[in-house]
Amino acid sequence: MARYIFITGGVVSSLGKGLASAALGALLQARGYKVRLRKLDPYLNVDPGTMSPYQHGECFVTDDGAETDLDLGHYERFTGRPANRMDNITTGRIYQDIIAKERRGDYLGGTVQVIPHVTDEIKNFVLDGNEGYDFVLVEIGGTVGDIEGLPFFEAIRQLGNELPRGHAVFIHLTLMPFIPSAGELKTKPTQHSVKELRSIGIQPDILMVRCDRKIPENERRKLSLFCNVREGAVIPAYDVASIYDVPMAYHEEGLDDEVLAAFGLTGAPAPNLDRWREISHTIKNPEGDVTIAIVGKYTVLKDAYKSLIEALVHGGIANHVRVNLEWIESEIFEKEDPSPWLENVNGILVPGGFGERGSEGKIAAAGFARTHKIPYFGICFGMQMAVIEAARNLAGIDDANSTEFGPTDEPVVGLMTEWMRGNQVEIRNAEGDLGGTMRLGAYPARFEDGSKIASIYGSTEISERHRHRYEVNIAYRERLEAAGLRFAGTSPDGVLPETVEIDDHPWFIGVQYHPELKSRPFEPHPLFASFISAAVEKSRLV
């Protein structure tokens, strides 16, 4: 039977519960255990699909088409296990399911209440489908004390009593701030957070304490005493140079040993961390540097591009170089010449996005990369903007545009209304709901023999994850290819363009899907490895 590890947070949000969960999962994996990670999000949205990146950061998409929390990206990158829609749930989805049951009469006229009905749904979600796993790590979003999180804390409290003895461990992640005026680290925020957690019936077995400097032994003893936690189970979680140092840092502080001890497990083999050490060494000892400009619209919030950032790091690892990122708000290029911003970079990447704001700036960035022979990578929206640029400036279609921005006489990019998913036809319309109605999840694509992208993948048939509502119009293919923009990849039926490239360019590729979602530190995505390789070549020419 699986054992359960519940990870909660206190004091402030954004302490890194997701990263801590992923790192602990990686450590248990390195000891030979089979792990699964799941995320419980207390907000009322059904999923993050309609939330602004400024609110929630990146929306991570799984193979089965779920729009999920960005922490699932950490889970995949650290453990290599593909997540699915049953690894993330929100209050909104739970209430949606409960109300549907109530309308059907499933509760037989009974009063529907938070306890037991909501908590039972949460418990059923946590326990479902875990056969074959040694450990299930369950992260609860938000912080202890948040009113919307109370049903989740109550549910895991109940599970702590209902699971067999020795099958549930609670880890609480807190902050230990340093007060410069006093010259001291303060334990009170952690004490109050644990007091709040204990007031709802949960006693943490392990404390993980985020801190930017070494915690003196006196303070660790103090935390142990006032939080009712063994001194050895007070685990410092220090800042590290790279997130890929976190598993090793936690192991050095004894996190995985304490977790196994809390379960009463002894004699487990030491973790094999060789591959993590190799990644860490590569990151810390690069053989060179490249600079990539990311021209986007959410550049003030890096979490909006979390998987993209990590995929670029992975591309750097594959080429033994450090990847420096220049974040550029695309609206700047609607008022200014791109040259001062882009002429000295080694590659230009335009990521996914939605809406008209900043679109002309992204088109300008694609045009600059094309004309100045700078490696260009357009992802989803970035591919669409590159196609519009080529339509206007290579094919002479002056009014080329996207219907996403309003009516146009030259809809080079348009709303998808129908496509195939397996043997089923998916149908959408402009008036439909926004949430969950895009082309989502893994879809196959087929590349032309001899295309650059086929050589990069080493295959002409691939599967990648999608998240988009608009599509390049295949009706313009002939005119665009005659002008030099090659439609190298399409859906298997040839109806939906998947990739474009320019043959007489060092590296100019656009893809309609999101390859960053499948990149791993130990398995860098081939497109990112190739893009960074092209950037390295560009840096040698400068």
pLDDT band, residue 268 (cuts 50/70/90): confident
pLDDT surpassing 90 at residue 76 = yes
User: Which of 140-149, 168-177, 353-362, 463-472 is least confident?
Assistant: 353-362
The strand ranges marked E within 285-417 are 289-296, 322-329, 347-350, 376-379, 400-402, 410-415
**Count of alpha carbons within 13 angstroms of residue 444, beta-carbon side:** 11
Rounded CA gap, 450 and 446, in Å? 12
Domains of the chain, each with CATH number or no CATH: 3-279 (3.40.50.300), 286-541 (3.40.50.880)
Residue 355's pLDDT is 81
pLDDT band, residue 300 (cuts 50/70/90): confident
Residue 436's pLDDT is 57
Residue 354's pLDDT is 82
Residue 424's pLDDT is 64
Main-chain phi, psi angles of 342, to 5 degrees: -115, -15
pLDDT surpassing 90 at residue 193 = yes
Q: Quick one: tokens of 17?
A: 């519960």
Which ranges of 343-419 would DSSP assign to H, the alpha helix? 359-371, 381-393
Total residues belonging to the chain: 542
pLDDT surpassing 60 at residue 14 = yes
Residue 500's pLDDT is 97
Residue 425's pLDDT is 59
- If one compares 53 and 512, the residue with the highest pLDDT of the two is 512
Q: Quick one: tokens of 457?
A: 């993948």
Output the CA–CA distances (angstroms, integers) from residue 346 to 374, 506, 540, 541, in the order listed. 7, 12, 9, 10
Residue 542's pLDDT is 58
pLDDT surpassing 80 at residue 421 = no
Percent pLDDT > 70 in the chain is 95
Which pLDDT tens digit goes with each residue over 379-398? 999 999 999 999 999 999 99
Give the residue numbers annotated as catalytic, written as ranges: 380, 514, 516
pLDDT band, residue 427 (cuts 50/70/90): low
Which pLDDT tens digit goes with each residue over 115-171? 999 999 999 999 999 999 999 999 999 999 999 999 999 999 999 999 999 999 999
Residue 469's pLDDT is 87
pLDDT surpassing 60 at residue 301 = yes
Helix, strand, coil shares, percent, the chain, to 5 = 40, 25, 35
